[in-house]
Amino acid sequence: MKVLVLVTGGRGGSDFFQGLLDGHNEILQIPGILRINNEFKNLFKNNDSNLIAEKFIKFVPLIFDSRKNILERHNKLGKNKNEYYKVDKKKFINHYKKLSQSNLVKNNSSKINILENLYKAYYLASKRPIKNLKAILIHTHTVEYTEKLFKFENIKNCTIIHTMRHPINAICSPIFNWLKFRGGMNFFPKDLYFQLDLAIMGLKRLCKMNREVKVILLENLINKKEMVMKDFCKIYKLKYSKSMLKSTYFGKQWWGDQISGRWIGKKVHNVENRQNLMLRKVFYQKDLYYFSTITKKISEIYFKKNELNFFKNKVYFNLTPLKAEILVWKNTFKHKKIKHILSIPYFYIKRIMLLNKLFINNYKLPYSIGVK
């Protein structure tokens, strides 16, 4: 079975894209992120199928009762935003035990096969067929989790699908939204550096993993959805379905996560004014020149005629504080987080030293799905 590993850029739309694949009878997935951490690795430390299934339930509890998935708003699905989904845990355990016994007979119990059986058991417990499956989608979400996945298991026949947006938006959107979300209580210097590094270096790091990489641009996913999804199906030899034009989970409309503060599908008035407000809030003009300079290749190839390409002046290094850094520092002092306050100089120097034109070498950019 083909393995597709889904990774996002800054607010790059991976959850939205995953929802477009919901209900496709040739794609195997669970409705959420697979965090590759020690708890995940512990799933594979014994051969007891019952114990593996029970550990998996504890590892990803939200996929068994979406009422608890408040952040991703899986508790507010459907037309009237009042639906959710539940999957019977006992049925899941029983299905996994049967599948794992079949694997033992075939002498096929690699980590990826165990994970595949866990996903299949979830489908069967959800009353979904597994007969026509051609691909498994593993949503690792971050570059770091993706690196850890490949270190843990040398997966062959694998493609990384990277959802991303224009670099300026990929920097601006998460900073703007995370500082608003819950009063900025989850956004400090290390989180800012994570978002900057992801937007600037994320794709390069994925391309160094010795795997096939394909890109899906969020702008195309919104404006040219049918073209993107048809091209995706053509590449991976999947049947195209019109259901792929609507982002759902368990067939129920998904409205986006809490962080954006908006509902997907709801018409946004004055989009241009909102974008300009975000840019003014997060960037000085010199910051825009700086980020445009160090991400120029991505912007020129994927976003040729875009109003966010600020190429007028070249700024290879930016030694002065970014407006975003000042905003995050103020937020850190506001919340009186001593550990994060002490980290301010470290991440400031790290940004100057590592996120500049000198360290961003040229590399071949992957194919963008849906672009002729």
Say what the pLDDT of residue 273 is: 65
Q: Which amino acid is at 360?
A: I
Structural domain count of the chain:
1
Range of the structural domain that residue 157 is part of: 2-166+203-253
Q: What is the pLDDT of residues 52-89, one digit of tens each?
A: 999 999 999 999 999 999 999 999 999 999 999 999 99
Average pLDDT, the chain: 93
Predicted confidence band of residue 307 (pLDDT cuts 50, 70, 90): confident
Q: What is the pLDDT of residues 105-139, one digit of tens each?
A: 454 568 999 999 999 999 999 999 999 999 999 99
Q: Report whether 9 contacts 169 (CB < 8 A).
A: no
Predicted confidence band of residue 305 (pLDDT cuts 50, 70, 90): confident
C-alpha 65/C-alpha 69 separation (Å) is: 8
For the segment 296-310, the average pLDDT, to the nearest whole number, is 88
Give the Å distances, CA to CA, from 63 to 57, 73, 222, 266.
8, 12, 26, 26
Give the Å distances, CA to CA, from 238 to 93, 97, 172, 243, 316.
29, 29, 35, 13, 44
> Does residue 105 form part of some domain?
yes
> Does residue 310 form part of some domain?
no
> Does residue 329 form part of some domain?
no
Say what the pLDDT of residue 7 is: 98
> Does residue 240 form part of some domain?
yes
> Does residue 113 form part of some domain?
yes
212 strand-pairing partners: 159
Q: What is the pLDDT of residues 206-265, one digit of tens each?
A: 999 999 999 999 999 999 999 999 999 999 999 999 999 999 999 999 999 999 888 987
> Does residue 318 form part of some domain?
no
5 strand-pairing partners: 138, 160
pTM equals 0.95
C-alpha 59/C-alpha 207 separation (Å) is: 29
Say what the pLDDT of residue 39 is: 96
DSSP string, 103-144: HHHTT---HHHHHHHHHHHHHHHTT---TT--EEEEEEESHH
Say what the pLDDT of residue 269 is: 45
> Does residue 40 form part of some domain?
yes
> Does residue 152 form part of some domain?
yes
